[in-house]
Amino acid sequence: MNHKSETYNVIVIGGGTAGANAARAAVDSGAQRVGLIRNPVMSNTCVRQGCMPSKAALAHAAKGLSLGAALDHKRHIIQEFEEDLDKSLEEESFHVIWGRASFIDENSVQVETARGRLVLTARRFVIATGARGFIPPIEGLRELQGPLCFTSDDFMGPDSVLDHLPAKLLILGAGPIGLEAATFFSRLGCEVIVIEMLDRILPFMDPEFCELRLRAAREPDAFTIQTGCTMKALEKKNGSLCAIVESKENGGKTFSAEAVMVATGRKPDFEGLKIERAGLSLEKGKIPHDKRTLATKNPSIFLAGDATGHDQILHIAARMGRIAGTNAASAKAAVSMDYAAVDMAIVFEEHPSAAIGMSEEKARKAGVKVITAARDLSDVGRGLTDEVKFGRIKLVVDEATGQVIGGQMLGPSASEVIHALSPVISMGGTTNDMVKATWYHPTYSELWHTLANDICQSDSTLCPGT
């Protein structure tokens, strides 16, 4: 049945992390009536296909359990988190509308719900519809379907396309998704080859970390990482898949496998939204917008989260949601994103890596004079007890002020250890502050103290900036 039109001050399209934060921020900023349109089949990437199910599957694979057991555990985690998320949203002060939205014009949308069509109008909108796995236009690739060809959404979502473990798997892309998937499948006993177009991996870290990680990939029991390679075509041959790959160093290569996973990134998902009716258009698959205010060329519409097409990480999506929601609640763009304040990246793979703030490479390119200190984990106390073969930690400090502006780590517990620097950087802490703090031995976290002390002794007596 058809419903009469309802009016809101702000409507948020998308019920994931960015959308929920946008709706909450709009309410907190004084919007009297806020609605959030939540698509039942496209709710929250982190809960449904990303962060939580992938970590659950990785944990089970590390225990040596089967593919079926890992996927069952993952499905249980998804169900549990979705139920908790749905319950928490219903307790919010904004109105949740379940359905699929599409624009009618610049001021209204129609929503297909289980009970019929609903027409909603609003002064301003926030689009936070998330993203989906992108399959590049490689010859033969898009013609394949799961389980021969799949994305992370296809096997980490509630209904996995995999019914058995491939004996050999090609993974296209060595970003966080590709490396985490490679870890998962290799732990289960699958032979994995990762193909990366760029010459380096871990681009958010200094080159030495990339080199160390690639050395680890050459170990006998490790999954393979091939950099500087471009897949040109994929075809079925003699019961298996044959990938034709162009290598910058060695010319053409051919890889065979039972299946291929595509991890070449995610693109904003605007399917069915009919953004052209709202005066918006796509450029290279994205809606043009101001990266700081998140405003589009339609002053009544803002973007947030993975729908922006950049910085597709949960904590940044949450901050984007708050910025977009606050701006949508006002008559003008009142606040803006500070990306430096949320500059953190973590890869949860066989050799975990993490970075916060500025790398040495990035700082020097920006003209910042820095002092750095680094240690190999194989040469420090906790690294020796754990027999760490491949690991490194590095601190980046502003030479003039002594302020800590960045840090990087590759090795055990990197995803946890990196957080020790978050309050230091956000509060303008210095190496002098870090030297005075208490650190427990033997831990990996105490290495931040070790590195700070190394820098303080670089001029024999004083910490820089004191």
Which domains can be identified in the chain, with CATH numbers? Answer: 6-132+267-339 (3.50.50.60), 135-264 (3.50.50.60), 352-459 (3.30.390.30)
Collapsing DSSP states into helix, strand and coil, what is residue 55? helix
Average pLDDT over every residue of 82-89: 85
Indicate the pLDDT class of residue 277, thresholds 50, 70 and 90.
Answer: very high
At residue 146, what are phi and psi to the nearest 5 degrees? -65, 145
User: Is residue 114's pLDDT more than 70?
Assistant: yes
Residues 6+ positions from 93 with CB-CB distance below 8 Å: 27, 34
Q: Specify whether the CB–CB gap between 307 and 324 falls below 8 A.
A: no
Tell me the one-letter amino acid at 133: G
Summarize pLDDT for 426-466 with one digit per residue, the tens.
999 999 999 999 999 999 999 999 999 999 976 545 788 87
Indicate the pLDDT class of residue 410, thresholds 50, 70 and 90.
Answer: very high
User: Is residue 401's pLDDT more than 80?
Assistant: yes
pLDDT given at position 47: 80
**327 is written with which tokens?**
């701006």
Give me the residues paired with residue 261 across strands: 150, 171
Q: How many residues does the chain have?
A: 466
Q: Specify whether the CB–CB gap between 335 and 327 falls below 8 A.
A: yes
CA 454 to centroid of chain Cα atoms = 33
- If phi > 0 it is left, if psi is from -120 to 50 it is alpha, else beta; for residue 211 that is alpha
Residues 6+ positions from 129 with CB-CB distance below 8 Å: 13, 14, 39, 42, 268, 269, 270, 273, 307
User: Is residue 43's pLDDT more than 70?
Assistant: no
Report the C-alpha gap between 388 and 444 in whole angstroms.
Answer: 11
pLDDT given at position 458: 60
Using alpha carbons only, give the angle 112, 114, 117 rounded to the nearest 5 degrees: 35
pLDDT given at position 41: 77
Report the C-alpha gap between 350 and 449 in whole angstroms.
Answer: 26
Indicate the pLDDT class of residue 292, thresholds 50, 70 and 90.
Answer: very high
pLDDT given at position 144: 87
The pTM of the whole model exceeds 0.75: yes
User: Is residue 154's pLDDT more than 80?
Assistant: yes
User: Is residue 3's pLDDT more than 60?
Assistant: no
Report the b/e string of 428-438 with b at 16+ CB within 10 A: ebbbbbbbeee
Average pLDDT over every residue of 83-94: 87
User: Is residue 333's pLDDT more than 80?
Assistant: no
pLDDT given at position 460: 47
Q: Specify whether the CB–CB gap between 198 and 265 falls below 8 A.
A: no
Q: Specify whether the CB–CB gap between 260 and 144 falls below 8 A.
A: yes
Please name the helix (run of DSSP H) or strand (run of DSSP E) that holds residue 363, with its range, or none: helix 360-365
Indicate the pLDDT class of residue 60, thresholds 50, 70 and 90.
Answer: confident
Summarize pLDDT for 197-252 with one digit per residue, the tens.
999 999 999 999 999 999 999 999 999 999 999 999 998 888 789 999 998 777 78
User: Alpha-carbon torsion 136, 142, 144, 145, what sign?
Assistant: positive
Residues 6+ positions from 334 with CB-CB distance below 8 Å: 326, 327
